[in-house]
Amino acid sequence: GENVEQHPSTLSVQEGDSAVIKCTYSDSASNYFPWYKQELGKRPQLIIDIRSNVGEKKDQRIAVTLNKTAKHFSLHITETQPEDSAVYFCAAKQTSYDKVIFGPGTSLSVIP
């Protein structure tokens, strides 16, 4: 089955700097890759997603890149703000299956 790894597990950046979180997946059949942000005690919120027919997607300060050959994808947050502090989860899914497999998460701290 699918296995998703995520690095780093914790990340501290200064406000205004960029943050990059990297994930790898094992199943080449996976074709949908969402990223979720979860604040303490709250629900995961979808912040951006990408499909395997696209190499890059951007939404304001957030961008995701996908390398299908290497089976890895990354989240890039530019001009970080304190409110970006949260746990970020990457995930992978095959369209033909219902299951979304989550990575272990990255705790991002943005220092004012």
Partner 1 sequence: GAVVSQHPSWVICKSGTSVKIECRSLDFQATTMFWYRQFPKQSLMLMATSNEGSKATYEQGVEKDKFLINHASLTLSTLTVTSAHPEDSSFYICSARRGTYTDTQYFGPGTRLTVL
Dist. CA 90–CA 24, nearest whole Å: 9
Q: What is the DSSP letter of 112?
A: -
Least distance to partner 1, CB of residue 34, Å: 7
Beta carbon nearer to partner 1, 44 or 84: 44
Q: Given the complex with partner 1, which of 10 and 67 has the nearer CB atom?
A: 10
Q: Residue 5 Cβ, how far from partner 1 at the closest point, in Å? A: 11
Minimum distance between the CB of residue 76 and partner 1, rounded to whole angstroms? 21
Least distance to partner 1, CB of residue 105, Å:
5
> From CA 49, how far away is CA 51, in angstroms rounded?
7
Position 100: which residue type? V
Residue 58's beta-bridge partner residues? 63
Output 20 or 100, the one with its CB closest to partner 1: 100
CA angle 39–41–43, rounded 5-degree value: 65
With respect to partner 1, which residue has the nearer C-beta, 19 or 89?
Answer: 89
Cis ω for the linkage preceding 8 (within 30 of 0): yes
Q: Which positions lie near partner 1, rule CB under 8 A?
A: 32, 34, 36, 41-46, 49, 89, 93, 95, 98-105
